[in-house]
Amino acid sequence: MEFQLTDEQRQLREEVRKFADEEIRPVATEYDVDEAYPHEVMDEAADMGLLAPHVPVEYGGIGYSSLENAILTEELFAADPGIGLCISSAGFGAEALMEFGTEEQKERVLPEVTAGDAVMGSAISEPQAGSDVTSVATRAEKDGDEWVINGSKMWITNGTVADYFVVVCETDPDIDDRYSGYSQILVEGDRDGLTRDKITGKLGIRASDTAELRFDDVRVPEENLIGQRGMGFLQLMQFFDETRTAVAAQGVGIARGAAERALEYAEEREQFGRSISDFQAIKHKLAEMHTNTEAARWLTYRSAWAVDNEAGDLTALASMAKEFASRTAVEVADEAVQVHGGAGFVNDHDVERLYRDAKITQIYEGTTEIQKNIVARELLDEGM
């Protein structure tokens, strides 16, 4: 068993850390306050090869493994989760094309995304369908050689900036099986009948674009079906191990960013004539923050390794990693604000933003409660 990264993986970490320090950290507060999508940073990220780097080389990506993706994600989120999410979500839905798309779909969409010329979105959630994905009600009906889509999607990351969406639709409502009857359909962002409304006033990750989408008789050619008709939900399930591991890496990044800033501040700040890091109460907080971050990182790496090697109990591991790392992010960011005292309560210091940003990791890609349900289901061998 090796507990160290390869030279290439260490180099990747150093390069992304430098990029994040120079290009993301200095502008993070500004984009957060303005709730603005960071187009300029995205251009820089494209030049660095950071957009959808898991896409295979033949379609313009780098072909990064889940572990390499976790290393990269930690660095981006340690700098700023809002901009970090913009970069790491540029290819949301690309997995569906990579795994099930036609050659034409892959060649058309993926190189544009990795070059920074197009952004993707993955549209699953609806106003009435969140944790229960099987209650998706957006309908796609066949009319000649086209799909006609009607319904609405909620909380869609990259909603107003995306050029392509992978949309989960109900195509075969007559199938009497809870998990069948749904399909994934590629929808171009400029299709007639598609309305996108940006959601503002978010607690955190405010640089990331989130929107509600409405489909009113949106027509796309039948070739836009991704994979097999009626198998969309089951196709989707295959990616959760990977995407939940990626959210775990986001949590590790937020926790590390908060723990590092707390350490730095504790060494600088003096009260009662000495550094606050001299107080045992503060020392213990710092020790726990760093210990928990380290534990979350190794559980995340373990899950990423399992995804890459298709080994071990993938689904339980990914849910364990996601649940633990997101909880660690929330707890460590909370303690980081505490170590900063009043200074942590205003946005002169990054910990204020990290504290707000951390919460989303317990909500998207399946809430904490859903992750625990999955772990328990796997332990009890209950089946889906």
Binding interface with ligand FAD (CB under 6 A): 92, 122-125, 130-131, 155-157, 202, 210, 360, 363-364, 366-367, 369-370, 373
Cβ proximity of 194 and 213 under 8 Å: yes
The minimum distance between CB 127 and ligand FAD, in angstroms, equals: 8
Among 365, 369, 378, 382, the one annotated catalytic: 365
Neighbours of 217 (CB within 10 A): 12
DSSP string, 56-101: -GGGTS----HHHHHHHHHHHHHH-HHHHHHHHTTBTTHHHHHHH-
Q: Provide CB contacts within 8 A for 225, sequence distance 6+.
A: 147, 183, 184, 185, 186
- How many angstroms separate the first and last alpha carbons of the chain? 33
Residue closest to ligand FAD, measured at CB: 130
Judge whether 365 counts as a catalytic residue: yes
Nearest residue (CB) to ligand FAD, 261 versus 322: 322
Nearest CA-CA partner of 231 in 179, 194, 160: 179
Nearer to ligand FAD among residue 295 and residue 363 (C-beta)? 363
C-alpha to C-alpha distance for 53 and 244, rounded to whole angstroms? 17
- How far is CA 147 from its chain centroid? 29
Which two structure tokens, joined as six digits, stand for 98? 């990579």
Which tokens belong to 128? 């009435």
Give the length of the chain: 384
By annotation, the residues acting in catalysis are: 365
